[in-house]
Structure 1
């Protein structure tokens, strides 16, 4: 039983007139009648009773119409849903975020814009460190990741820079430098610097250490924080000072002060990553939204 025969049958059953049904289907009446006869032959029963002025459904025809209508409707729905998915209008996307990027307002804007423009796409967020997110991409546990730049070696992952942000110095309460608006990095030469483990964001870690070395000193590293953002809490607790991305200023911590870095300063890059072989329209649309938001921010800063 061919789907087109069921479609022809449904239209004839609704019109109860071969000529009108043929016009609705955009075909000639004789071939339509022939297809209906083939369907009747396949089923082994008459579906229509031919009358002087039109036709009417037989008992077998009425039963078939109920099922055929549902089948045709389901096929059309499946077609529509597949087309919507192909256009990126429906589906599911799993987005991973590095813990330190969630504080940046552009990241919230990317997610908000994507959800507004793709209301029927389900977005599932997760949060982890950069190394874990790259692994999740490779193992297909997530579809896209917004990260601090990753020093990855896999050709299976595509990483694009979105934008970078300045980094700031975080000082504990009543620190001797707390009264200054801007601070040069070499002023931290005798301070204990709280850093996150290099394994969770190696590029950002190396950027901070290199900036200190360019300023003429190797930092005295203290206890490590489990994440970039948690370094602020450790500063507040008196474990030392830290250097963090500017957007982390939004993190509420009692007593700490944030200070611009005078002179050459490290930059914290934000990037987006997906699998190199990614062809999903929902993922490609998300990447494009992120690119546009990044470009808009760049123009706004210019």
Structure 2
């Protein structure tokens, strides 16, 4: 089997034209270099170097090998560089998931753009889904990281990193009576008789529970008349007049027709967190670099 050291020896001899000079170039003695050439010729069953009165030169077979040997050695050097860059997190693949509301917060697209610009050798795959689906994909190693809207609980195989917290807003149809004075905050208790449209609990998890808890603390249980599979679908139902909803403030970026947003008061704990979830023990260099970039960016925005 051919060895890279044989090819390196052969290329050095061919390029220098003298075995002594090739030995000096490679930092070795002449006899071992000669043996490498002889072993290569024996391996290939052909004479590769023509011995001249002064020096050597490649034979026809040697010239044919020289071109291929240079390509093989270049590829080997490139492979080593690929491995080094991968070990530093500069090459590889990263699958990142996010909820629809997380994607609308400027932090998420901003940090994804920064990561892609910084680590151009990393292929980034993105997937949008509900929190439950994202966590399942993490557990089954279909995703490497996910931006979710609630802290983890009871999932020992996963870890979550708190990133930021944003307020929740009331979303109303434009023709709703409470939409008329949209400039003033509205006490949460005002919604006691309203019909609510919420995203399914198995999709929204923490946000769904946070809304229920906040309403109960305000003295009522919300009347949920419709649930939607995605938060964006929730807003479509609100615009259609099916009810009101409470959503993260960043959802305003959708700027959908038929919806008015109002601030809420007397619900201090009604907020929408953003967390980065990853698998415990996943120490891949690419993921490590991404996690560090997310944490650094979050600290800078705090």
TM bin (shorter chain): over 0.9
- Name 1:235's counterpart in structure 2: 238
- Name 1:212's counterpart in structure 2: 215
* Structure 1: gaps of 5 or more residues: none
Deviation (angstroms), 1:74: 2.0
Moved more, 43-52 or 181-190: 43-52
Matched-pair contact (CA < 8 Å) for 1:5–1:36: yes
Residue 253 (str. 1) matches residue 256 (str. 2): yes
212, 221, 226: which one aligns with 1:223: 226
Q: What SS class does the counterpart of residue 177 from structure 1 fall into? A: helix
Q: What SS class does the counterpart of residue 223 from structure 1 fall into? A: strand
287, 291, 297: which one aligns with 1:287: 291
Matched-pair contact (CA < 8 Å) for 1:196–1:228: yes
Matched-pair contact (CA < 8 Å) for 2:240–2:258: no
Within 5 A, what are the aligned runs for 1:1-302?
1-178=2-179, 179-180=181-182, 181-265=184-268, 266-298=270-302
Q: Within 1, Cα distance between the matches of 2:49 and 2:257?
A: 82
Q: What SS class does the counterpart of residue 260 from structure 1 fall into? A: strand
Q: Within 1, Cα distance between the matches of 2:46 and 2:223?
A: 90
Q: What SS class does the counterpart of residue 262 from structure 2 fall into? A: strand
Q: What SS class does the counterpart of residue 6 from structure 2 fall into? A: helix
> Structure 1, residues 194-241: CA drift from partner, whole Å, max 9, x if none?
111111121111111111111121111111122123222211111111
Matched-pair contact (CA < 8 Å) for 1:16–1:54: yes
Deviation (angstroms), 1:150: 4.7
> Structure 1, residues 240-289: CA drift from partner, whole Å, max 9, x if none?
11110000011122232111112333111111112213122122211112
Deviation (angstroms), 1:94: 1.3
Deviation (angstroms), 1:102: 0.9
Q: What SS class does the counterpart of residue 136 from structure 1 fall into? A: helix
Q: What SS class does the counterpart of residue 140 from structure 1 fall into? A: coil
Deviation (angstroms), 1:3: 1.9
